[in-house]
């Protein structure tokens, strides 16, 4: 993802929040409702001091080690075999929207190279591969006639994985909405939820014979906020109310897809992929801003899925909240919507990149070293804090980490990435620590298998454990790929 240079205030980075000066009435209203409808609150201000034990920390025998990508970021061939345009094609066609004027062509050319990439994963020993399906390859205009060539392509990808003993994990929506649906209102329009359910059902029917982990929506928060509020991702809107509508409609679409999955009788498991951000108040005596950032960053997505309610402090003109019209957000919700959204899932997929500090005004504060992605503040212990918080605050559900990783510091190709080895080691340790303390963590996917198209950053940020020369499409495993392979083989993480 990316920073948000277009943010309409003096604040902050991509995951930061606009601090609105609230009126006295708003402040009073806020004081009256600060206790949210959720039992959760911000994480503790400082990490619990912890050092890894001298012996390797083991993982459960059936722990799922995987790598992840998404369609627009790796496939290329955006006009082949009947694929219709998506909002990312449109957005990237305006050169100034993406660094270097880059687009999703050629990306990592995985549309043609999936067999070789499956071999690569097989060599590394990974047990699962998470990729996404491009909606507009299946339904070029978002609904209606199915494009058989699209289904055939993904059937071949699934078969290539299964033949190598690699479990497919498929994301249904990783931000590349068919342009025709955007033209009809996109996630601002409730109709899009019904189109998503149809699309999902098409895939459950086509691949229901295979054991697959289905992820309905990838990071509804990023798509809603960065795409509809900050204007930095497709569709490039800068409207908090549009972002709030995109939140509710994506959540509803998720629940409808879960119902379609159950009705289809397809094999496998299903859940939603939420990026979560541990929030640490920088002043332990003034935690209001952090509570509201926690509400808008985390509970706005966790609570409806796991508790069947929206937190009341996530949206409104309060420091740290999504500054949309809360009444309009409520008006979007029809009777029964929250029952749909909270339809029981088989797993909760979480994506973890780092933490943030927050001041009492709801402004994000840098409290840890950042990576080349300036929004990413790295604190491995934050993963432990997040996992134990999920255990403590929500009903039990198996948790799968479907993204975790960092970019290289420079845009140049490198295979020497000691920082990423260190990142992976320390995060695997925190995962093992949480498992040891009863967190039902069932697997860990590294983002990403390959260097790829990093959204508004184009090809300037390399997140792969395997380097890609985009001119030749040569794959070159980095040191971190070797390290990951060793961890998988041992099914344990060593102290150093
Ligand atoms: C997204 C990926 C992205 C990664 C790094 C995640 O939030 O799902 O598509 O490449 O972050 O920014």
Instruction: Tell me the two tokens of residue 145.
Output: 């006639």
Domain locations in the chain? Answer: 24-493
Q: Is the CB of 273 under 6 A from ligand 1?
A: no
Task: Report pLDDT for 363.
Answer: 97
Whether 115 is catalytic: no
Please compute the mean of the pLDDT values over residues 406-414 and round it to a whole number.
98
**Among 246, 233, 224, CA closest to 91:** 233
Residue to mutate, 88, 447, 448, 457, ligand 1, most ligand atoms under 8 Å from C-beta: 447
Per-residue pLDDT tens digits for 223-236: 999 999 999 999 99
**Among 260, 251, 269, 258, CA closest to 198:** 260
Per-residue pLDDT tens digits for 108-141: 999 999 999 999 999 999 999 999 999 999 999 9
CA atoms within a 13 Å half-sphere pointing along the CA-CB vector of 461 = 23
Per-residue pLDDT tens digits for 1-53: 443 332 233 233 333 322 222 222 222 222 222 223 333 344 445 566 799 99
Per-residue pLDDT tens digits for 341-369: 999 999 999 999 999 999 999 999 999 99
* 475 CA distance to ligand 1 middle (Å): 20
Is 80 exceeded by the pLDDT of residue 384? yes
Contacts of 463 (CB under 8 A, 6+ apart): 405, 406, 407, 408, 447, 448, 451, 452, 454
Instruction: Tell me the two tokens of residue 286.
Output: 């003034």
**Which of the four pLDDT bands, split at 50, 70 and 90, describes residue 104?**
very high
**Among 314, 214, 303, CA closest to 258:** 214
Separation between Cα atoms, residue 21 and residue 27, nearest integer Å: 9
Which residue lies with its CA nearest to atom 11 of ligand 1? Answer: 1
**Among 491, 397, 407, 389, CA closest to 446:** 407
* 334 CA distance to ligand 1 middle (Å): 31
DSSP labels for 302-370? HHHHHTSS--TTSBSSSTTSB-S-HHHHHHHPPTTHHHHHT---S-EEEE---BEEE-TTS-EE--S-B
Separation between Cα atoms, residue 173 and residue 171, nearest integer Å: 6
* 352 CA distance to ligand 1 middle (Å): 10
Please compute the mean of the pLDDT values over residues 86-101 and round it to a whole number.
98
Q: Is the CB of 381 under 6 A from ligand 1?
A: no
* 196 CA distance to ligand 1 middle (Å): 21
Which residue lies with its CA nearest to atom 10 of ligand 1? Answer: 454
Whether 219 is catalytic: yes
Q: Is the CB of 451 under 6 A from ligand 1?
A: no
Q: Is the CB of 426 under 6 A from ligand 1?
A: no
Q: Which atom of ligand 1 is closest in space to residue 405's alpha carbon?
A: 5
* 1 CA distance to ligand 1 middle (Å): 5
Query: Is CATH 1.10.3720.10 correct for 24-493?
Result: no
């Amino acid at each position: 993802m990316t920073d948000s240079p277009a943010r309409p205030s003096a604040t902050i980075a991509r995951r930061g929040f606009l601090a609105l000066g609230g009126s006295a009435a708003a402040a009073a209203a806020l004081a009256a409702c600060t206790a949210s409808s959720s039992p959760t609150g911000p994480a503790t201000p400082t990490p619990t001091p912890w050092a890894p034990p001298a012996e390797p920390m083991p993982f459960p025998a059936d722990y799922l080690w995987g790598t992840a990508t998404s369609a627009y970021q790796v496939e290329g061939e955006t006009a082949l075999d009947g694929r219709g345009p998506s909002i990312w094609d449109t957005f990237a066609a305006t050169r100034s929207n993406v660094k270097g004027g880059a687009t999703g062509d050629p990306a990592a050319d995985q549309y043609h190279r999936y067999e070789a990439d499956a071999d690569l994963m097989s060599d590394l020993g990974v047990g699962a591969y998470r990729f996404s399906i491009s909606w507009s390859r299946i339904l070029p205009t978002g609904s209606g006639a199915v494009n058989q060539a699209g289904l055939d392509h993904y059937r071949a990808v699934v078969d290539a994985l299964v033949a190598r003993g690699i479990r497919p994990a498929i994301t249904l929506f990783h931000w590349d909405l068919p342009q025709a649906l955007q033209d009809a209102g996109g996630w601002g329009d409730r109709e899009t939820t019904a189109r998503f359910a149809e699309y999902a059902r098409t895939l459950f029917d086509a691949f229901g014979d295979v054991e697959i982990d289905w992820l309905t929506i990838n990071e509804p928060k990023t798509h809603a906020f960065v795409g509809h509020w900050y204007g930095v991702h497709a569709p490039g809107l800068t409207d908090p109310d549009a972002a709030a509508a995109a939140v509710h409609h994506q959540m509803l679409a998720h629940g409808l897809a879960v119902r379609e999955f159950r009705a289809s009788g397809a094999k496998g498991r299903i859940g939603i992929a939420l990026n979560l951000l541990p929030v640490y108040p920088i002043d332990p005596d003034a935690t209001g801003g952090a509570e509201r950032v926690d509400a808008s960053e985390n509970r706005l997505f966790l609570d409806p899925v796991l508790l069947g309610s929206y937190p009341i402090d996530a949206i409104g003109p309060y420091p740290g909240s999504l500054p949309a019209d809360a009444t309009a957000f409520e008006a979007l919700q029809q009777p029964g919507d929250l029952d749909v959204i909270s339809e029981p899932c088989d797993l909760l997929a979480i994506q973890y990149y780092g933490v943030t500090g927050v001041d009492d005004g709801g402004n994000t504060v840098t409290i840890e070293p950042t990576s080349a992605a300036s929004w990413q503040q790295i604190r491995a212990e934050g993963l432990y804090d997040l996992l134990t918080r999920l255990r403590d605050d929500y009903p039990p559900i198996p948790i799968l980490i479907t993204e975790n990783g960092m970019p290289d510091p420079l845009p140049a190709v490198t295979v020497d990435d000691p920082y990423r080895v260190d990142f992976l080691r320390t995060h695997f340790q925190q995962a093992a620590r949480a498992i040891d303390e009863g967190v039902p963590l069932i697997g860990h996917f590294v983002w990403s298998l390959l260097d790829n198209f990093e959204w508004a950053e184009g090809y300037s940020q390399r997140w792969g454990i395997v380097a890609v020369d985009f001119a030749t499409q040569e794959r070159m495993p980095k040191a971190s790929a070797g390290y990951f392979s060793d961890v998988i083989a041992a099914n344990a993480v060593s102290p150093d």
